[in-house]
Amino acid sequence: MTVLRNEVRPGTYLDSVALMRISRTLAERDGVADAGVMIGTEPNKQILREAHLLGPEGEAALPGDLIIAVRAADEAATATAVAEAKRLIDQPKRSSGPAAAWRPRTLQAALKELPDANLALISVPGDFAAPEARKALSRGLHVMIFSDNVPLAEEVALKQEAREPGLLVMGPDCGTAIINGAPLAFANVVPRGDIGIIGASGTGIQEVSCLIARSGCGVSHAIGTGGRDLKAEVGAITTLMAIDLLEADPATRHIVLISKPPAASVARAVLDRIGRSAKPATVCFIGGEALAMPANVRFAATLKAAAERATGRAIAGTPAARAPAPARGRLIRGLFAGGTLCAESQIVLRGAGLAVMSNTPVPGASPLRTLASGHSCIDLGDDEFTRGRPHPMIEPAVRDAPLAAALADPAVGVVLLDCVLGWGGHMDPAGHLAARLAGRPSGGPAIIASVTGTDADPQGRAEQVRRLEAVGVTVAPSNADATALALSAISAR
């Protein structure tokens, strides 16, 4: 028998990432069965209902209120956890020293501070994102909408409204962009250069931009579009505008387009537009067919191939001889923080004839010739794993339970992992992984990983690679190389 308690803080808003971390801190306390601290929107209430955390007080909360929900062993444990939640919510959010800075709470106040700003980044609950984006558009600002759970009809309306005055709407659910060298949201520190990227995929932009940087080249801009921009309903509005902008940009020599396979009509429109560009381009439709390309466009089947096409330089892979032979099992278990990296690994494995189970099936995938069963690539950033919880790029502990299960499964011969660095992400994802892998008994599966990032990132790629290699992880130069190594390893069995 447990005790449930809800408290509501009227008119209180905190960033969802901060709230997720508070929820996790409470849930780890002794005597606490589960906890959630969320803004009182209907989707959040549904998450709390499904977790058996919503009481009458929480049901009555308004979308601008904050719900503290705790279920614990007894009244004392519940009261203590709620008190801790209040302390964490109320603790100072900025230092009091000379570096402390006033932070505007409204768009109007922000524009008074930065009157020359031309872009607004929107990161609020999805119910409020469209109104905030319209405020920004009405002031002549381009918009990047990090928020998800924005209705598709709202996305279409926003992009159509913005198109006439020539304003970009990146998103909703746009996780990555690099504009004039400034990394936004989940993005990496890469040098300026002459390659422009347009991506409906955040981790796809990250992998390609980092491989470009590590090959000695640089990025002019990386324009995120949001994952639904190439749907038929949206019609690639942002993608087409981004092509126009990069074509007109004198600093951009080559354009790279990254996306899951678009609707057929949208693919034709995008390829027709990019084919009329005077600049060469590379198109990477992850999991799509190699469509007929215009004369100035080359198709890339993987993110690594896209970077190589754009730079004109080969990116060194890991020799097959370095593939670790697993001591047991013949199955590959891929546990990914990056959805596009997960999809890319599926493509490589399926191209080798393996049947791969996944919670993120590749649209339009052809029927598979089954040579093995039980291989899997799982996107742990998918909604089914992150409802009410942090994304694994923010909180790598999301991967802990599936990793422990893979290590204990005698049928698994290789565990395939990604480690994604950059702004917005966890400050030591490799360190977290290394702590879970250190001291594991011999005779378990081989561990193969890729590290998406650069040495200029806050985490430092070289140090992250060192931490993984110190606990016996084989680190490949790219996600595609890591997947190829996994194939090589199970073939050695």
- Both 201 and 108 in one domain: the answer is no
- Both 196 and 296 in one domain: the answer is yes
What letter represents residue 314's amino acid?
Answer: A
Instruction: For residues 207 and 453, give the distance between their C-alpha atoms in angstroms, rounded to a whole number.
Output: 7
What are the structure tokens assigned to 217, written together? 């080249």
Q: What pLDDT, in 10s, does the model give residues 251-288?
A: 999 999 999 889 889 999 999 999 999 999 999 998 77
Domain finish residue from 173, 194, 215: 173
Instruction: For residues 148 and 125, give the distance between their C-alpha atoms in angstroms, rounded to a whole number.
Output: 8
What are the structure tokens assigned to 369, written together? 């010739």
The CATH number given to whatever domain includes residue 61 is 3.30.70
CA neighbor of 432 nearest in space, from 404, 456, 467: 467
Collect all residues with Cβ–Cβ distance below 8 Å to 8 and sequence separation of at least 6: 40, 57, 58, 60, 61, 65, 66, 67, 68
Instruction: For residues 196 and 175, give the distance between their C-alpha atoms in angstroms, rounded to a whole number.
Output: 17
In a domain, 96, yes or no: no
The CATH number given to whatever domain includes residue 342 is 3.40.50.261
Beta strands 32-39 and 66-72 are: antiparallel
In a domain, 324, yes or no: yes
Q: Is the pLDDT of residue 363 over 50?
A: no
What are the structure tokens assigned to 160, written together? 């159509």
**Scanning the structure block, which residue is given the tokens 């590379």?**
282
Q: Is the pLDDT of residue 309 over 70?
A: yes
CA neighbor of 407 nearest in space, from 448, 449, 450, 444: 444
What are the structure tokens assigned to 367, written together? 């029927």
Domain finish residue from 56, 90, 124: 90
CA neighbor of 159 nearest in space, from 146, 174, 171, 176: 171
pLDDT bracket for residue 368 (50, 70, 90): very low
Q: What pLDDT, in 10s, does the model give residues 372-426?
A: 348 999 999 886 777 666 788 988 988 999 999 999 999 999 999 999 999 989 9
Domain finish residue from 142, 173, 204: 173
Residue 445 CB burial class (10 angstroms; 0-12, 13-18, ≥19)? buried
CA neighbor of 488 nearest in space, from 351, 323, 334: 323
Instruction: Between 369 and 189, name the one with better pLDDT.
Output: 189
What letter represents residue 277's amino acid?
Answer: S
Q: Is the pLDDT of residue 327 over 90?
A: no
- φ, ψ (nearest 5 deg) of residue 39: -65, 145
- Both 300 and 362 in one domain: the answer is no
Average pLDDT over residues 365-376: 48
In a domain, 363, yes or no: yes
CA neighbor of 258 nearest in space, from 233, 216, 217, 230: 230
In a domain, 403, yes or no: yes
Beta strands 3-9 and 66-72 are: antiparallel
- Both 452 and 477 in one domain: the answer is yes
- Both 474 and 391 in one domain: the answer is yes
Q: What was the pLDDT predicted at 31?
A: 94
Per-residue DSSP letters for 238-249? HHHHHHHHHHH-
CA 86 from centre of chain: 30
In a domain, 469, yes or no: yes
Q: Across-strand partners of 223?
A: 198
In a domain, 95, yes or no: no
Collect all residues with Cβ–Cβ distance below 8 Å to 294 and sequence separation of at least 6: 271, 272, 274, 275, 276
Q: What pLDDT, in 10s, does the model give residues 419-471?
A: 999 998 999 999 999 999 998 888 889 999 999 999 999 999 999 999 999 99
What letter represents residue 287's amino acid?
Answer: G
Q: Computed from CA positions of residues 463, 464, 466, 470, in that sequence, does the dihedral angle turn out positive or negative?
A: positive
- Both 36 and 143 in one domain: the answer is no
Q: Is the pLDDT of residue 97 over 50?
A: no
Strand order, beta sheet including 356-358: 356-358, 375-379, 331-336, 412-420, 446-452, 474-476
Write down how long the chain is: 493
- Both 179 and 216 in one domain: the answer is yes
- Both 331 and 472 in one domain: the answer is yes
Domain of residue 139 covers 103-173
- Both 119 and 250 in one domain: the answer is no
Q: Computed from CA positions of residues 48, 49, 50, 53, in that sequence, does the dihedral angle turn out positive or negative?
A: positive
The CATH number given to whatever domain includes residue 136 is 3.40.50.720
In a domain, 69, yes or no: yes
In a domain, 97, yes or no: no
* Residue 164 CB neighbour total at 10 angstroms: 7
- Both 239 and 129 in one domain: the answer is no
Number of domains comprising the chain? 4
Instruction: For residues 188 and 344, give the distance between their C-alpha atoms in angstroms, rounded to a whole number.
Output: 20
- Both 325 and 308 in one domain: the answer is no
Q: Model's pTM, two decimal places?
A: 0.86
- Both 261 and 325 in one domain: the answer is no
Q: What was the pLDDT predicted at 369?
A: 31
